[in-house]
Amino acid sequence: RVHRGENMPLVVARIAATTSTPAVDARARLSRSPHSASVAPSRRAVAHRHRTAHRVAMTTNATTSSSGMTIEEKFAFDLRGFIVVKNVFDASEVAAMNAAIDARASEIVERKGRLRLGGEVGDPLAGDGSTGRADLGGMLTWNTNGDADVFRSVLAHEKLVPYYHELVGVGYRMDHLPLMIQQKMGADGFVFHGGKMNPDGSWCQELAYTYEQGKIYNQLLAVSVALSDTAPGDGGFAIVPGSHKSNFACPQAILEYKSNQDLVVNPEIKAGDVLLFTEAATHGTMAWTAKHTRRAVLYRFAPSTYAYGRSYYPTWPEGTEEGMTDAQKAVLQPPHHVRLDRTTLTDSGAVAGTQTRDDFKKEHDAKVFGNKYF
């Protein structure tokens, strides 16, 4: 299965520009024995209490602050599988990203032949049958003239981190290298893909969307930064709303946009908006019909313990982390649990700290496994 989503939605979500106030973590309310004052605590107990308080404070800052998503946004995402966050990037930032791409126009690769994604000539998503979608990567390494800066900002953007925390979780990580997707007039689309169910009807766990006890969980969240306007009917990103909850595999005729076309939404999006969708929703790309060129930069994020892609292994491509902020580097950590010395972020996109594993435990693991982590 190929999973390369793109744009998104119809439901328009607004970001609150206020900073949330952390709530007090119930775990920080330590009960005391009536006899505790008469017993001198051991040095280890004091150290352990200090470490526990530090971890609790960090967890409070990172996880228990009021969500940056409104209840309307949560409802919309849970119902439809996507939202649009408006005006995340201003006109100057969009222009800077487009200029950086234009400076590397010779590196853009058009999909031809078997790489075309819209089906056979004459199919609904095939476009003019000749012009292919074009791709470009590497933007996190564009250190010349600071070209990488705006692209890197998506990793820990103060307007986006609250969404990442709510939809993926604290300690989230970048799972795929970002991809610039470009469609000129007549370019083919991409047959629909993703979805909750595999073609054989089995559950697609690697793309799973779940809701449990008031919390949304996405195994893989797509984040698409729009660098051009898309009006309904222009083409570009399209989605089958609510398909992330379907109990049936999507029929092939719908995947190829040959049947039940009324189930598909081709949402409006403006340059500077950011679209968020779960890869558990069936989505694809319509052939591009507008005269102007469409561009979007697609990122994917995953929970701290999960990896779908493998571009992080054994290291990210050379130059990826050079000049990054500590917050941005934190998003590039390999998959492992938050409690195993993982640096996390606050909702404002700053480094919250590292939830450290006790030294005596790491010393024990080193003796047992020859490594400080099991």
At residue 67, the pLDDT reads 56
At residue 187, the pLDDT reads 97
At residue 130, the pLDDT reads 94
Rg for the chain, CA atoms, rounded: 23
At residue 357, the pLDDT reads 85
Report all structural domains of the chain as residue ranges with CATH numbers, in order of start: 71-335 (2.60.120.620)
Res 302 pLDDT > 70:
yes
What global pTM score does this model have? 0.82
Q: Which residues pair with 211 in a beta bridge?
A: 216
Res 312 pLDDT > 50:
yes
Q: Minimum mean pLDDT among 48-52, 95-99, 105-109, 308-312: which range? A: 48-52
Q: How far is CA 84 from the centre of its chain?
A: 13
The CA distance from 301 to 312, in Å, is 13
Residue 144: Cβ within 10 Å count? 10
Which uninterrupted H or E stretch holds 295?
Answer: strand 294-302
Give me the sign of the Cα torsion angle 239, 242, 244, 248. negative
Mean pLDDT for 53-77 is 60
The CA distance from 205 to 173, in Å, is 18
- pLDDT 10s digits, 265-280: 999 999 999 999 999 9
Mean pLDDT for 134-154 is 96
The CA distance from 360 to 215, in Å, is 34
Res 45 pLDDT > 90:
no
Res 116 pLDDT > 90:
yes
In this prediction, residue 372 has a pLDDT band, given cuts at 50, 70 and 90, of: confident
- pLDDT 10s digits, 202-261: 999 999 999 999 999 999 999 999 999 999 999 999 999 999 999 999 999 999 999 999
In 3D space, the residue among 105, 176, 94, 86 whose CA is nearest the CA of residue 140 turns out to be 176
The CA distance from 319 to 299, in Å, is 18
Residue 283: Cβ within 10 Å count? 32
User: Token digits for 349?
Assistant: 């996109």
Q: Which residues pair with 230 in a beta bridge?
A: 269
In this prediction, residue 107 has a pLDDT band, given cuts at 50, 70 and 90, of: very high
In 3D space, the residue among 183, 182, 186, 204 whose CA is nearest the CA of residue 195 turns out to be 204
With contact defined as beta carbons under 8 Å apart, do 156 and 150 qualify?
Answer: no
- pLDDT above 90 covers a percentage of the chain that reads 78
Res 24 pLDDT > 70:
no
User: Token digits for 55?
Assistant: 């971890």
At residue 225, the pLDDT reads 98
Res 307 pLDDT > 80:
yes
User: Mean pLDDT for the chain?
Assistant: 86
* Pairing between β-strand 82-85 and β-strand 12-13 as defined by DSSP bridges: parallel
In this prediction, residue 373 has a pLDDT band, given cuts at 50, 70 and 90, of: confident
At residue 31, the pLDDT reads 37
Mean pLDDT for 301-321 is 96
Mean pLDDT for 189-199 is 94
Distances (CA, A) of 25 to 22, 39, 62, 214, 316: 9, 27, 11, 17, 35
- Would you call 333 helix, strand, or coil by DSSP? coil
Res 154 pLDDT > 70:
yes
